[in-house]
Structure 1
Amino acid sequence: MRHPFTRHGLTLAVALASGLMTQNLAAQALEEVIVTAQKRSESLQDTPISISAFNSEAIESMGLNNVKDIGLATPSLQTPAYPTSSNNLAYFIRGIGNTDSIILTKDNTVGVYYDGVYAGRNTGVLADLSDLERIEILRGPQGTLYGRNTTAGAISFVTKKPSGEFALDQTFTAGNYGYKRSVTSVDLPTVVGVKSSVSVALSERDGWVKNGGAGKIAGGEYNDFYLEDKKGLRIALRYDQVDDLIIDYSFDYSDMDTTAPYFQYAGDTGAGLNIAGGDISASYGDRLEKTFDANTGQRRAYNLPITTTKTRGQSLTVQYDINDFLSFKSITGYRAFDDNLSQNFANAFGGASGLEIHTITEHEQYTQEFQLSGMTERWKYVGGLYYLKEEGSAAEQQFLDRALVDTTGLIAFDSNGPCVSGAFGAAPPVCNVLDPMFYPAYLGEFTVDSEVESYAIYGQATWTPDILDDRLDVTFGARYTEDDRSASRTTDALLWGTLNPGSNSSSLDQDDWKLNLNYSWTDSVSTYATVATAFRSGGSSPKALDFSETFDQETLVSYELGVKSELLDNRVRLNAAVFQTNIDDVILDYLPDPVRAPNIVSIFNSGEAEIRGLEIDLLAAISANFQVSVNYAYLDSKIKDAIFPDGSDRTKTTVLAWSPEHAYSVAVDYNLPLNDLGELKAHLDYSWQDDQYALSNTNEGEVLVDDFGTLNARISLDYVQMLGGEWQVALWAKNLTDEDSANYRIGMTAFTFMQPRTYGLDLRFRY
């Protein structure tokens, strides 16, 4: 491993030099950060939870336009891009996550919330982020207040509420690779007591891997990889004209046309890779921006239709203050998406053929939560009832995009179709007619229908006893959940014997609890200790050989010690936490034959996992105009008693995926007032992640992604008074050093790489 502090010393040197230049200037206190992690508004420093929070100013300066950007800026959060879609991410916090975040029969470990409404699936999360007031990332299990499937933590997006007065906020952006973006936010005057706002986000970017060369056939679609065309709309209404009553309604819609990531062959060459009758003769260990045939080294075009994702959501929140000690809240949510996905893996797995996947998914969910909360002199409390209903259907078709005669046991195809329709592993006969043209060969289709229904009751109370000068807070919370799910799978004739039809169902009830002690040594320094439990629901694998097989819930208990402090007259904020998480019945993926049948995946429970870690968050006001933040995360993880479905003990070769041992980020902000000319703002941030595994099972070899980092910069002139409003102009760049490391792997040969350097110009007008 290349040590980050020697490899990237330039970033730290810049920060240090800037600090020395400004060390003699008078600093000012840091601004207070308000969060709602415990279902009530309170200071970040008074909340005994490990939290990362970004306000609207940080979101703008860091260019956090989507959740992927947030993952790079938060060391404890990893967001690997989903291999078949540019509209989906997998979330991992503290080494706990779900690599298969797109499927309907396996739940995630990180709860995602939009204004308190849970989103059960990650499809569509890469829509443009706009009109945000705050992003909160809760690290560690949140099983009491947030419930099922928050074993790793939760991400909460909090939007701006209508002001009731006319205001316009317009941003235009242009950049390389044909990047264009427009974000329009309008607050409207109050009408019959109703405040309203509308925001529209439009963006597009050319694909940066050009898809061209030999192999095109009539009727094929040959779009470039990584293409983007996104549209989003959000409408918000607020009624607060009756004392103690607030009603908020919102509607959001997004339409995303994208193309998938490009997996290029970047494995070894040699006789050991005699796949599909010939050695791989060309290997590409560096990022490519054009498609190639790994066998010949020549340009090659791959059939790649557009992926279309449409999401929509509605929420209705009613809050009524019953008296000084009790408040009622109802949160009603509806979210849905339609996803038509296409991916072509080219010949990244080796051999003459590229695997194509086309998946159509429809999903909708309804949630209802009722809360009662309040506080007295010595008590703070919240309790509630929760209900979720989720339904979805996914149909997947698989193709080979080129004629393939395979002597290693896969199904063989010629221009007339499959030579044999038996199971994978059956030796095919010699095809009678070989067609040298490139064409898709149909492998088969399967459809999975899924339904989930969940009920929960929860409560949490914080007591400040009349001892120790009221410096001790004791919090206890509990939650009871009932979870029922069912699924069925149908297949066509070609997949019969490989992916058999079938159905399954499961039902569980689960108790979770939390105990927290928080002691304030002074008004600005406190320490806390927490023990908490959580669980992830069970399910089934849509690509298992036997669909009747299910896996059970995964449970964990976490122990955490933390400190929160504000030092030097609140000019330095230092928060830190150490933790240990013990997981029982770890949910793992298993590929029985990853070389010849990478599309066959079993999901099962196996053994225990232990994760130990350290997190440090430092924010310092070096001067009135200069701030530096440093965030660091350390993980040490291991799995015990990993017994796989074939009966083998793979404890020594099983790891937790996407859990880098070290990760850190550094950000520098400098603001220089220019009197009547406005304010000059400069921002620089660097994020680095250690090498990490992309696949838990290393029995067939280590599927390892090397360490990588990104340097981003933005400089702007803001608050310029002109033509009756405030103007801002900004120059920005992401991946400023044009880092070209791999950022995802499937198996030993299929790699994706980091996006090249992008840059652009923002023009913003506020009225």
Structure 2
Amino acid sequence: MHNTGDRTQEDNSTTSVRAGLEEVIVTAQRREERLQDVPIAVTALSRAEIETRGISNVIDLKSIAPNLLVSLMPNSNVVSQVSLRGGVTINGGLYWEPSTGMYLDGVYLGKAVGSVFDVVDLERIEVLRGPQGTLYGRNTMAGAVNFVTRKPSGIFGGSASVEFGNYGGHVEKLSLDLPRWGIARLSLAARKEDRDGLVKLTDGGELDSRNKLGARAALGLDFSDNFIVDYRFDYTKIDQAPPHNQLYYVTPQGPLFTAAAAYASRDRLSTVSTNWPSYEQLDLHGHALTLTWDVNERNQLKSISARRTLRNDDSVDLDGVPITISTAKRISNLEQKSQELQWVGRTERLDYVMGLYYYEDDGQTINPHEFFFGSDNSQYGFGVEAKSAYGQIDWRVTDALTLTAGLRRTKEDKTTWRFKSATPVSLGPIPWVSAEASFAATTPLATIAYKVNDRLNIYAKYSEGFKSGGFQGEAGSADEAVIPYDPEDQKTFEVGAKFTSENGRLQLNMAVFHNNIENMHVNRFTGIPGVSVIRNAGQATTKGFELEGMWVPSEALRLQVSYGYLKGEYDEFMEAAAPGQPITNVAYNRSFPHAPEHTFNVNVNARLAQTVWGELRGSADYGYTASFYAYPYQIVTVDPSRATAGNTKVDSCGLLNLRLVLADIPLGGSGQAEVALWIRNAADEDQPVNFIDFGPGFFADYTLAYYPEPRTYGATFTYRW
């Protein structure tokens, strides 16, 4: 059952487009299976695709899969905001937990903060859509993203590359496989990126720069043919400038906001003025130890132990202008530990996975603010201890029919503490308070899969997801700080089909889903300085359709297309329509955030010529996202004291990336070189992709906008041996 990571032709990103489609192997169900056999909506990217598309972290996924929307959290370049089938986390605070689980070599990454780090030596990426509450568990209600790194081969080899681009950008990468030494296999890799800021400051500084170092070490110890130990270490060091909080709109109300209005612009600015230091620093260490024992040909036991530590220190001029209206600073620490035991096996008619999982984390954030009318020292801490047991059985009733049943039981104990001092006192000081609460859920799975023939598989699935409740880290009062919000849960019905043509040149995968969500978590900025609150909106429904296709009409051309349709709406949103009015269902007048109705991606990869200098290839990658609302606010303005959703509506946008490659350049011996010219955001799209709306409660409508990176271009030189 073992794969010790021997190098294959598919490891090389210069592999030519073949006459048929390669067989894609995924581990979405904790065991190796053909993508076309797995009754799950999965998008899988091979190493060659990852390098061709220039993917190094979660932000690069963007809209690469149907109904997937990935962006940066406002005012940070190290916090991701992932929306999958309408499931999203809007707040970037460490006390929040994402709705889409991210995994690195089987280890769960518990927070969105620090999730934008470069994963060095990626072998494969899997995007699992829909609840993964049985096999994956914590906070995978919307889905899961698996990052799988390459195993050390024990054969000497590697690659080195250097990249140069505009804005002074340059990237250096090194991946090295060392020869086997006894029972040991070792690989080392590193990636260094630097870039000048995209926005210049009038005082000579800059914003939105890059200064990142990522490193990885992978050690494999083959104690015997059936017992292997794998150790992984990853390290990230970031010290750069955050994006500009560009003032998009402000009500010219009073002398202060009238003065700020002079700096407001709805066009992306390249030179600005601020009056507060802006920086972001991240230090991340990850350790993972995996023990794999093949008990026999049919049973495997695995232990995955992990520990990750994070320190994030940032400071932003939150108002975006050279007037002290709003500033923010965060000093955060987090430690997480996890342990998982898996038993994967099979009989003549059964495949089964069983496991025990333990996770704990502990962190705190110091979050002071300076405002035009005062200041506060906001601090909060958080912790969780989660335990779960799970099992899933696939019964092959016949060679064509497979029935699957799964169940997971989860229990989470959460703790919190909150403190806030303020000047003046009217800002609402909070004495030191603490609280704890427990949450539990049982999440089942049932699937019927039918193999019509060797080329067509269909399935119907029912699954449930669970995201536990918690506490308000940024609570505005002592009472709110100790009262937990309720868990969110989801019931999903899905029908899908996976088809491969007889000649192997065409592949089509489709899925239709319907989600019923209870106690949906929504985030609201209250207008009170430094206070965002989490509310249980009530009930919601999301439904949609997904299509992925791949076609290889000839050895020289490969086409990939994906399309997602999504409809999200509230069935119940309990809130007072305006202050003083009774609490009623206002679902008809609340926007569904980060849920674009249409997402579309097309990738064309073509061999243009075969020359004595190598193979000339070109690729074009286009991703389209329809318009969507950034926050769950009122659609029609009924209450002027609250924010209106249309003020932070993100317009539809399409991003085009182009790449021209001369690959397989012979240099003598076993080494080969590659030269690539590339352009990202070739059309220079420049409308906002995210917002912060302070709302009327901040004494004036004050809206900040965040823009995509402008057109960038450059060249990459790679040598492989």
Aligned-partner Cα distance in 2 for 1:692–1:258: 30
Aligned-partner Cα distance in 2 for 1:652–1:78: 24
Report the secondary structure of 1:622's partner residue.
strand
Deviation track 1:252-308 (CA, whole Å, cap 9, x = no partner) reads 111011221212122277x678864668345411111111xxxxxxxx233233211
Report the secondary structure of 2:249's partner residue.
coil
The offset of 1:493, in angstroms, is 4.4
Q: Where do 1:301-450 residues align within 5 Å? A: 301-347=274-320, 352-400=323-371, 404=372, 411=373, 418=374, 443-450=375-382
Contact 2:274 2:323 in 1 (8 A): no
Aligned-partner Cα distance in 2 for 1:495–1:379: 67
Contact 2:380 2:474 in 1 (8 A): no
Bigger drift between 488-497 and 275-284 goes to 275-284
The offset of 1:723, in angstroms, is 4.4
> Alpha carbons of 1:273 and 1:512: their partners in 2 closer, same or farther (altered >3 Å)?
farther
| Amino acid paired to 1:373 | V
Partner of 1:267: 249
Q: Which has the higher strand share?
A: 2
Aligned-partner Cα distance in 2 for 1:346–1:175: 31
Check if 1:286 corresponds to 2:222. Answer: no
Contact 1:245 1:321 in 2 (8 A): yes
Aligned-partner Cα distance in 2 for 1:739–1:277: 30
| Amino acid paired to 2:114 | G
> Alpha carbons of 1:764 and 1:354: their partners in 2 closer, same or farther (altered >3 Å)?
farther
Aligned-partner Cα distance in 2 for 1:701–1:491: 29
TM-score by length of 1: 0.85
Partner of 2:710: 756
Partner of 1:227: 209
Contact 1:445 1:495 in 2 (8 A): no
Q: Where do 1:7-406 residues align within 5 Å? A: 28-100=19-91, 102-213=92-203, 223-267=205-249, 276=257, 280-281=261-262, 283-291=264-272, 300-347=273-320, 352-400=323-371, 404=372
| Amino acid paired to 2:717 | L
Deviation track 1:332-362 (CA, whole Å, cap 9, x = no partner) reads 11111111011112347xx953421110000
Residue of 534, 558, 567 corresponding to 2:501: 567
Deviation track 1:605-636 (CA, whole Å, cap 9, x = no partner) reads 12101001111001100211101111101111
Contact 2:367 2:377 in 1 (8 A): yes
Contact 1:273 1:280 in 2 (8 A): no
Residue of 382, 386, 389 corresponding to 1:454: 386
| Amino acid paired to 2:362 | E
Aligned-partner Cα distance in 2 for 1:529–1:761: 46
Contact 2:94 2:113 in 1 (8 A): no
Partner of 1:621: 552
Partner of 2:665: 720
Bigger drift between 511-520 and 642-651 goes to 642-651
The offset of 1:655, in angstroms, is 2.4
TM-score by length of 2: 0.91
Contact 2:523 2:535 in 1 (8 A): yes
Aligned-partner Cα distance in 2 for 1:192–1:119: 33
Bigger drift between 316-325 and 638-647 goes to 638-647
RMSD (CA atoms):
1.9
> Alpha carbons of 1:275 and 1:578: their partners in 2 closer, same or farther (altered >3 Å)?
farther
The offset of 1:752, in angstroms, is 1.1
Aligned-partner Cα distance in 2 for 1:598–1:591: 9
Report the secondary structure of 1:641's partner residue.
strand
The offset of 1:598, in angstroms, is 5.4
Contact 2:440 2:468 in 1 (8 A): no
Report the secondary structure of 1:143's partner residue.
coil
Report the secondary structure of 2:438's partner residue.
strand
Partner of 1:481: 410
Contact 2:120 2:215 in 1 (8 A): no
Partner of 1:604: 535
Contact 2:97 2:112 in 1 (8 A): no
The offset of 1:84, in angstroms, is 2.7
Check if 1:711 corresponds to 2:663. Answer: no
The offset of 1:180, in angstroms, is 0.7
The offset of 1:499, in angstroms, is 4.8
Aligned-partner Cα distance in 2 for 1:275–1:576: 54
Aligned-partner Cα distance in 2 for 1:760–1:75: 29
| Amino acid paired to 2:274 | A
The offset of 1:651, in angstroms, is 1.6
Contact 1:273 1:279 in 2 (8 A): no
Whichever of the two has the greater Rg, that structure is: 1
Aligned-partner Cα distance in 2 for 1:521–1:182: 49
> Alpha carbons of 1:635 and 1:204: their partners in 2 closer, same or farther (altered >3 Å)?
same
Bigger drift between 490-499 and 60-69 goes to 490-499
> Alpha carbons of 1:498 and 1:621: their partners in 2 closer, same or farther (altered >3 Å)?
same
Deviation track 1:397-450 (CA, whole Å, cap 9, x = no partner) reads 1124xxx4xxxxxx3xxxxxx5xxxxxxxxxxxxxxxxxxxxxxxx12121111
Q: Percent identity?
A: 32
Check if 1:661 corresponds to 2:604. Answer: no
> Alpha carbons of 1:479 and 1:281: their partners in 2 closer, same or farther (altered >3 Å)?
same
Aligned-partner Cα distance in 2 for 1:514–1:389: 25
Aligned-partner Cα distance in 2 for 1:495–1:717: 64
Check if 1:744 corresponds to 2:674. Answer: no
- Which ranges in structure 2 are unaligned for 5 or more consecutive residues? 1-16, 635-641, 694-701
The offset of 1:123, in angstroms, is 2.3
Deviation track 1:178-206 (CA, whole Å, cap 9, x = no partner) reads 10100101100111210001001111011
Report the secondary structure of 2:232's partner residue.
strand
Aligned-partner Cα distance in 2 for 1:277–1:628: 53
Report the secondary structure of 2:689's partner residue.
strand
Report the secondary structure of 2:118's partner residue.
coil
Report the secondary structure of 1:652's partner residue.
helix
Partner of 1:578: 512
> Alpha carbons of 1:347 and 1:27: their partners in 2 closer, same or farther (altered >3 Å)?
closer
Bigger drift between 337-346 and 140-149 goes to 337-346
Contact 2:315 2:330 in 1 (8 A): yes
Check if 1:500 corresponds to 2:481. Answer: no
Aligned-partner Cα distance in 1 for 2:600–2:422: 51
The offset of 1:232, in angstroms, is 1.2
> Alpha carbons of 1:281 and 1:493: their partners in 2 closer, same or farther (altered >3 Å)?
closer
Q: Where do 1:537-552 residues align within 5 Å? A: 537-546=468-477, 547-552=481-486
- Which ranges in structure 1 are unaligned for 5 or more consecutive residues? 1-25, 214-221, 292-299, 405-410, 412-417, 419-442
Deviation track 1:15-54 (CA, whole Å, cap 9, x = no partner) reads xxxxxxxxxxx98221111100000001100001001111
Deviation track 1:105-127 (CA, whole Å, cap 9, x = no partner) reads 22211111010000101222222
Report the secondary structure of 1:162's partner residue.
coil
Residue of 458, 467, 471 corresponding to 1:527: 458
| Amino acid paired to 1:760 | G
| Amino acid paired to 1:363 | L
Residue of 696, 703, 709 corresponding to 2:632: 696
> Alpha carbons of 1:276 and 1:331: their partners in 2 closer, same or farther (altered >3 Å)?
same
| Amino acid paired to 1:371 | Q
Aligned-partner Cα distance in 2 for 1:587–1:360: 25
Contact 2:229 2:292 in 1 (8 A): yes
